[in-house]
Structure 1
Amino acid sequence: MNKTISWIIAVGLSVAFVVIEYLYRNEQESVEKPVSKDELTHQIMPLIAQNKKIAAIRMVRNTLGCSLLEAKEFVDNLVHQGLQ
């Protein structure tokens, strides 16, 4: 019985370690890549041209760390500017 509990605790701690390391690495990647809005605009314009608006919104959210609504408005503004 004690071996089973020890095994469960060990597995739980191992899983927790893996999850924490994954989250830490993702946080480091986003912190290490500062991108200006101009650079981001340059990066997402091909997506907008290919009518991949959702992918563009996802890129804005991941890069700027903004809300879904803010990212959508950012992309919509670029689409609107492109139509003029």
Structure 2
Amino acid sequence: MLGIQVDMDEDMTITKKLTVVALWCIQWYATDCPSMTAVVHMLEGETKNLVMPSNPFASTDQAESSSSVMAEKFSHEVLDVIPE
């Protein structure tokens, strides 16, 4: 009979890595989301090198966007508020 051994430390590392990458991918501004190339690099890299993004739902204020955490910085276009 084959026995399957599960390495809990490795599973936790993979879970943490997937969670951090997922949080980067749901940022409010599309320019704060990583490119697919950056996602692949994050998934292939070391977990200890991953930086947690800011809470994507805490504020939609442009000044508090997480782009300052990303290596590449992008400019945001400000959308006008249209009264209903």
TM-score, structure 2 as length reference: 0.32
Which one has a larger percent helix, Structure 1 or Structure 2? 1
TM-score, structure 1 as length reference: 0.32
**Structure of higher CA gyration radius:** 1
